[in-house]
Every structure is written in structure tokens, then in C-alpha cells.
Amino acid sequence: MKEQLEQVYRTAIDELGHITNSDALREWELKFIGRKGEITLMLRQTGQLPAEERADFGKRANDIKNELTQAFEERESLIRQQELAQSLEEGDIDVTLPGRPRRTGGLHPSTQTLRQIQEIWAEMGFQVYRSRDVEDDDTNFTLLNIPPHHPARDMWDTFYTTQDGVILRTHTSPGQIRAMQDYGEDGTKPIRVILPGMCYRYEQISARSEIQFYQVEGLAIGKSIRMTDLKGTIADFARRLYGPETQVRYRASYFPFTEPSMEVDVQCMLCDGEGCSVCKHTGWLEIMGCGMVHPTVLRNGGYDPTEWSGFAFGMGPERITMLKHDIQDIRYFWANDMRFLSQF
């Protein structure tokens, strides 16, 4: 077997010396040093030799394999250079062709709006509080003054889980309770937070509603916070978002967790209030709900409502983005269509 090994070695070296193209080189590699190559197979047979011959044979076979591998690599780089020089000469490569453009990535429009909103609130002293996506029924509803079986629950179509009382949050408002419990130190500390996050609703997906979307909630708690603070703060936010001339109006509304409750409209930025199809010819666009935190909610967060008060608001960044760019269909936000995304 030893003689056979040397024989294969000589043949291999001889054949390698005659190879001039990479196809033949690949074949040579398979034949001699590949996984089923002759040298490899012989190495594997070392165990069948008489014990006293094994060490010598194994060492020699290994040396040969290493030597052949090195010779192979040298030959390979030589052939590669030759082939490149040849193809350059024959004009296979057109160096005048334009390069392939590298596309740069961009931020998703929702991310852009979210960051813009966060920046504005940060300037006004509001800290980001991240609350959980998976909530319990109590925090999502009951502690927000929406008891079981209350008809107001119909405002939020809910994803329930197989675990009793565990749901996906239908809005970011439960984060109000969590922030009060977390930061309030048993109702002794003022709070100013915004709570951005994903919300989930069991809805028929359509141009106007998705089952998954962002909200940015806001909460301010203090000793003498009044409705005028709410109105001034929201107006300031709207002007920072849409420009200093932006007109804002408040309409009375209803939410179980605020009293009184309002909805906020800004003058339509597409027609400057003249009336267009986006604002349905009213000149106004609704951008959020808000109100003074309901005493029951304050109490559930650990605060004494005779001493403390606060305001809260909630807005939908997708809706804000849609209004800003006149996007007609909310499903674009999750469709991952580059023709849509690359416009932002």
C-alpha cells in the first residue's frame, strides 16, 4: 500500500503540472484530494494496516495530502490570473459598463413620524415610557374605568388569548396605569410621559383599519393641572408638528378614562382649510383624543384625585402620516412594497 501511495502521489504531481484551466483543476481536486479522492481514501484505510506500519504510513499520507493541497492552491492562483488576463484580452469584460447602484436604506414612514412625535414631546419635557404589548384585561379596561360588560368595551374589538384575562392591548392607555404605578411612588410624584407602542384590534382589515397599528399616548399628572394646560400643550404640539400657523380646535367627545373628553382637529394641511377630499370639505382633520384624567383612573394609579389632577391624550401616527401625505390606504404600512416605502 505504501508503494501504491507513492505511485498516486507521483501521478498527481505529474497531472497537476499539465493542467491549464480551472475545470480540469476542479476534476483533479476531486480525483486526488477531495472527500472521495484517492489520497483521502488511502488515508482512511490506515487502520487496516498492521499496527507497526500505521504510524509511518499515516504520517507520509498526511504529508502528501498537505503537499498536494499546497501545490493545488498555487496552481489555482496561477490559472486564475491567466484566465483573468485572457478574458481581459478577449474583451469579455466591458470596463465602460456603469456599476450596479447600491441602494441605501431608509426609515419606515411610521418610524419617521414616531421619532418626530417623540422629539417634540421630549422638547416639552415628556419622557418615553415603554409599556407592554401583552396586557391583562383589568389594566386594558377595568382600571381605565371600563368595567366588564360596560357597553364602552365595544369601542375596542379585542384579541383574546387562551389564557384567561390575557389580551393584546387594544390601545396604549393601559400604559397610563403602569406609568402611574411605576413612577408615581404611591401617588406622590408628578408624571410627564408619552407611551409609544403597537396596538392590536380584532378588525376586518380594510383601507381604513388594520389589526395592528401604533399609538402614542401621553400622560401628565400634577397638583394643579387644568384643562387650559391640556389645550395649550396640545396646540403647542400641533404647531411644532405642522408649523407655527396651524389652527387647532377642540370638540367635546367621550372616553371612559377622561372627563371631560375632547377630540382635537387641526386645520387641513393639504388645502389650508379651504376644503378638499382629504378633509371631506370640512377644512379640519381629527388627529387625537384627549381629556382630563378621570378621578377613578387617578385613584387606580395610586393618586388621590382631591389633590392630584392630570391630562391624557392618544394619537395614531399612521393616521397622522396618512393625512400628511394624502395616503389613501392604511394597508400600505404593512405591505412592504418598495414602491411605497422608497417615497419617504
Would you tell me which residues interact with ligand DAH (CB under 6 A)?
171, 173, 217, 255, 258, 289-291, 312-314
With vertex at residue 276, the alpha carbon angle to CA 273 and CA 279, rounded to the nearest 5 degrees, is: 70
User: Which residue's CB atom is positioned nearest to ligand DAH?
Assistant: 314
Nearer CB in complex with ligand DAH: 37/289: 289
Q: Can you tell me the distance from the alpha carbon of 332 to that of 213, in angstroms, rounded to the nearest whole number? A: 12
Nearest to 33, CA basis, from 47, 16, 53: 16
Is residue 61 classed exposed, middle or buried when 0-12, 13-18 and 19+ CB atoms within 10 A define those classes? Answer: buried
Nearest to 322, CA basis, from 311, 334, 331, 330: 330
Nearer CB in complex with ligand DAH: 173/321: 173
In the complex, what is the shortest distance from the CB of residue 104 to ligand DAH, in angstroms, rounded to a whole number?
Answer: 35
Side-chain-side CA neighbours of residue 329 (13 Å):
9
In the complex, what is the shortest distance from the CB of residue 279 to ligand DAH, in angstroms, rounded to a whole number?
Answer: 20
In the complex, what is the shortest distance from the CB of residue 221 to ligand DAH, in angstroms, rounded to a whole number?
Answer: 12
User: CA dist 304 to 271, 288, 297, 301, 308, Å?
Assistant: 46, 27, 10, 9, 6
Nearer CB in complex with ligand DAH: 9/313: 313
Nearer CB in complex with ligand DAH: 93/205: 205
* Residues 264/248, Cβ–Cβ less than 8 Å: yes
Nearer CB in complex with ligand DAH: 61/193: 193
In the complex, what is the shortest distance from the CB of residue 318 to ligand DAH, in angstroms, rounded to a whole number?
Answer: 13
In the complex, what is the shortest distance from the CB of residue 173 to ligand DAH, in angstroms, rounded to a whole number?
Answer: 4
